[in-house]
Amino acid sequence: SKGELDQRIRTAKAALGERLVILGHFYQRDEVVQYADFVGDSFQLANAARTRPLAEFIVFCGVHFMAETADMLSRPDQAVVLPNLAAGCSMADMADLDSVKDCWEELTEVLGDAPDGAGRQPVVPVTYMNSSAALKGFCGEHGGIVCTSSNATEVLKWALARGQRALFFPDQHLGRNTGKAIGIPLEQMPLWDPSRQLGGSDALTLQRSRVILWHGFCSVHKRFTVNQIAAARQRFPEVRVIVHPECPMPVVDAADASGSTDYITKAIAAAPTGSTFAIGTEINLVQRLANQYPQHKIFCLDSVVCPCSTMYRIHPSYLAWVLEALNRGEVLNRITVPEQIAKPSRIALERMLSLKP
């Protein structure tokens, strides 16, 4: 039963004491979030993994790429555990190392690999945190960097100061929204289609490009539309619409603001009583905010409830299972990134972490 499960988790957690820290992403369901020692967006969680000195075990309630990052940024003697190994991210899976390498080769053929007069390399790879450790490693090896939704602007500026252009993967929407925000015209942000030669672009388009966008997307955020925003504004003329930057560009343009899950959380926390918010992001977060702030009217832009199905795979019973195993001295579902990948990957992560927020 629910009460029994709750008791098992609390007992197992208490017995581990300071040897354990439970990290939870904002999209986790409430039944899991209640046990987290720290809840945050993907950037904050990466930082938390880096700065939790005591914990021997980091139980990560989130998705696979986040746990990999936690493993790479924590100490080697700390074990990162993902309660359900099937908790992946469909967007992260849209860019695999081989296709990115093929793309890189094609780009090098067209653009060369020599720096220009200002010392800028032809292309700087930028990977969204939502990607495998192998891709972060690729970026580390090729002068590139990692970004999250909370620092994409600073990261893209960094990349474009060092390169004539950036190759941004896997999320085309975050890439396009960020490029647009820093003033790059759409025609200089071609979409790379790995099934076609030169991604379906001609050499001139690639030469003139500033940001080459991978074709990935988030199936949760892709669902939000401009029509939903129009309908919300019609019903509640005072509504403030905030969306995640993984939403398509027209949706971000039609919203009042866009930002990471932490940005959304803070914007609501800072609002005067009686505010109305329509939010374009994952439903578990929106629902939690609505419950937490009954003095506001908070609803999801999409009336059809759509959780992130992979975040949802962290069920409390998995949490109980891994915690009880830790008490028996068994580390189940440990996420370890091999050192030959972790090393270059950390370079790309550290480049991001050293940027001023």
Q: Contact positions toward ligand SF4, by CB under 6 A?
A: 63, 89-91, 130, 218, 220, 246, 282, 308, 310-311
Nearer to ligand SF4, 25 or 165 (CB): 25
Q: Find the shortest distance in angstroms from Cβ 66 to ligand SF4.
A: 8
Residue 130 sits in the site that holds ligand 13P (CB under 6 A): yes
Q: With contact defined as beta carbons under 8 Å apart, do 251 and 224 qualify?
A: yes
Nearer to ligand SF4, 99 or 219 (CB): 219
Residue 121 sits in the site that holds ligand 13P (CB under 6 A): no
| DSSP sequence for 103-155 | HHHHHHHHH-S---TTS-BS-EEEEESSS-HHHHHHHHHTT-EEE-TTTHHHH
| Interacting partner of 100 out of ligand 13P, ligand SF4, none (Cβ under 5 to 8 A depending on kind) | none
Residue 302 sits in the site that holds ligand 13P (CB under 6 A): no
Residues 160 to 199 in contact with ligand 13P, rule: CB under 6 A = none
Q: Find the shortest distance in angstroms from Cβ 355 to ligand SF4.
A: 22
Please choose, from the candidates 346, 338, 335, the residue with its C-alpha nearest in 3D space to the C-alpha of residue 88: 335
Amino acid identity, residue 99?
A: S
Residue 218 sits in the site that holds ligand 13P (CB under 6 A): yes
261 is in an annotated binding site: yes
Distances (CA, A) of 106 to 47, 146, 189, 342: 35, 22, 17, 26
CB environment 181-209: b (16+ within 10 A), e (fewer): eeebeeeebbebebeeebbebeeebbeeb
Distances (CA, A) of 269 to 17, 239, 273, 286: 31, 16, 10, 13
Amino acid identity, residue 190?
A: P
Residues shown for the chain: 357
Q: Find the shortest distance in angstroms from Cβ 25 to ligand 13P.
A: 6
Side-chain-side CA neighbours of 280 within 13 Å: the count stands at: 34
| Interacting partner of 148 out of ligand 13P, ligand SF4, none (Cβ under 5 to 8 A depending on kind) | ligand 13P
Residue with tokens 């700087």: 124
Nearer to ligand 13P, 137 or 280 (CB): 280
Nearer to ligand SF4, 34 or 90 (CB): 90
221 is in an annotated binding site: no
Other residues' Cβ atoms within 10 Å of the Cβ of residue 241: 23
| Interacting partner of 90 out of ligand SF4, ligand 13P, none (Cβ under 5 to 8 A depending on kind) | ligand SF4
Binding mask 256-295 for ligand 13P (x = CB under 6 A): ----xx----------------------------------
Which residues line the annotated binding site for iminosuccinate?
A: 25, 42, 128-130, 149, 244-246, 261
Residues that bind ligand 13P (CB under 6 A): 26, 41-43, 130, 148-150, 218, 244, 246, 260-261
